[in-house]
Amino acid sequence: MIPVLANVWGYTVQSYVILIILSFVLGIFTIAKMARKDNRGWNEIIDVLTVMSLSALIGSKLFHVLLEARGHLLSDGSEASGILELLQDDPWHWARFLDPGYVFYGGLLVSALATWVFTLKRRIARPLLYGDYAAFALAIGIFFGRLGCFLAGCCFGASGEQIPWAISYSNQPLSELGPVHPTQLYDALYGVWACWWLRRQYLKRQFDGETFLCFLLSYSVWRFATEFYRGDTDREVWLSYFSNSQLISVILFLTSLVLFKWARSRSSLDN
């Protein structure tokens, strides 16, 4: 656990923030490189990337407030009981982009919707290809983002005394948990695997947007499974068992599956 990398001119450089920035830079570079390979113009690429990146930042922060407000420390040292209490204490909490606290699903959903609307209004040719480009950027983001979570000590796992690869934190208060599942590394492992698998899938795709849907299908299944091993308690739990992320995973999987089958059938008809 290394939440702080350094102190520069009185400013704390947090490991989580650095890795998030790195993931954005590499993701943007990946999308731009793939778009240029398809002979897309720089003006179009820059415009789409701007919308995609800003909406992802805003969406991930907004979902952080909406889904993870409960349990946040307030200025008086107490814990917030909900969204209103958090925003009354810190109205600009959702806009503190250099502070830890992002929800991946929020950034994904808001960015996908905003980018889709933007490409339609701009009448960009084959807009769904940007989703395919973004699939690789998302996999990269999961890898580096979860490494940031691991170093920051957030999104930690449940008790893992029975497994040989369990980890223990040295910093308080997480040291009191004992050996836990390294859930952040589970998700980081998915990011590595997804980059390899999506590459193979991209080369044999049958319709625009297929790689993006493959990412959604695989990640929603992976995330649903790893959520069972999460130990942090500042997330809403439904039916005493399922987390917000698991509910989103189920909805995302079913929606992506329907779209995938529909697009595959249309592709077969076109061929």
Q: What is the pLDDT of residues 139-154, one digit of tens each?
A: 999 999 999 999 988 8
Instruction: Flag whether pLDDT at 228 surpasses 60.
Output: yes
Q: Which helix (H) or strand (E) holds 243?
A: strand 242-243
Q: How confident is the model at residue 233 (pLDDT cuts 50, 70, 90)?
A: low
Q: How confident is the model at residue 175 (pLDDT cuts 50, 70, 90)?
A: confident
In DSSP terms, 6 is beta-bridged to: 13
User: Which DSSP state fits 227?
Assistant: G
Cα torsion through 146, 147, 150, 151, rounded to 10: -140
Q: What is the pLDDT of residues 14-60, one digit of tens each?
A: 888 889 899 999 999 999 999 999 999 999 999 999 999 999 999 98
Share of the chain above pLDDT 90, in %: 57
* CA gap 25, 203 in Å, rounded: 24
Instruction: Flag whether pLDDT at 239 surpasses 70.
Output: no
pLDDT for 156: 87
* CA gap 173, 60 in Å, rounded: 26
pLDDT for 88: 78
* CA gap 18, 98 in Å, rounded: 9
Q: Whose CA is closest to 188, among 228, 162, 223?
A: 223
93 touches 86 (CB < 8 A): yes
Q: How confident is the model at residue 208 (pLDDT cuts 50, 70, 90)?
A: very high
Peptide bond into 173 cis (omega under 30): yes
Mean per-residue pLDDT of the chain: 87
Instruction: Flag whether pLDDT at 217 surpasses 60.
Output: yes
Q: Which helix (H) or strand (E) holds 8?
A: strand 4-8
* CA gap 187, 200 in Å, rounded: 20
Instruction: Flag whether pLDDT at 173 surpasses 80.
Output: no
Q: What is the pLDDT of residues 73-127, one digit of tens each?
A: 777 777 776 777 777 777 777 777 766 677 889 999 999 999 999 999 999 999 9
**What pairing do the DSSP bridges indicate for beta strands 11-14 and 237-238?**
unpaired
In a 10 Å sphere around its CB, with 0-12 CB exposed, 13-18 middle and 19+ buried, how is residue 204 labelled?
exposed
Structure-block tokens of residue 218: 């695989």
- DSSP per-residue codes, 132-161: HHHHHHHHHHHHHHHHHHHHHT-S-B-B-T
* CA gap 76, 151 in Å, rounded: 26
* CA gap 100, 154 in Å, rounded: 9
Q: Whose CA is closest to 136, among 245, 32, 51, 50?
A: 32
* CA gap 109, 74 in Å, rounded: 28
Structure-block tokens of residue 206: 């049958």
pLDDT for 234: 59
Q: Whose CA is closest to 56, among 32, 91, 27?
A: 27
Q: What is the pLDDT of residues 63-74, one digit of tens each?
A: 887 777 676 677
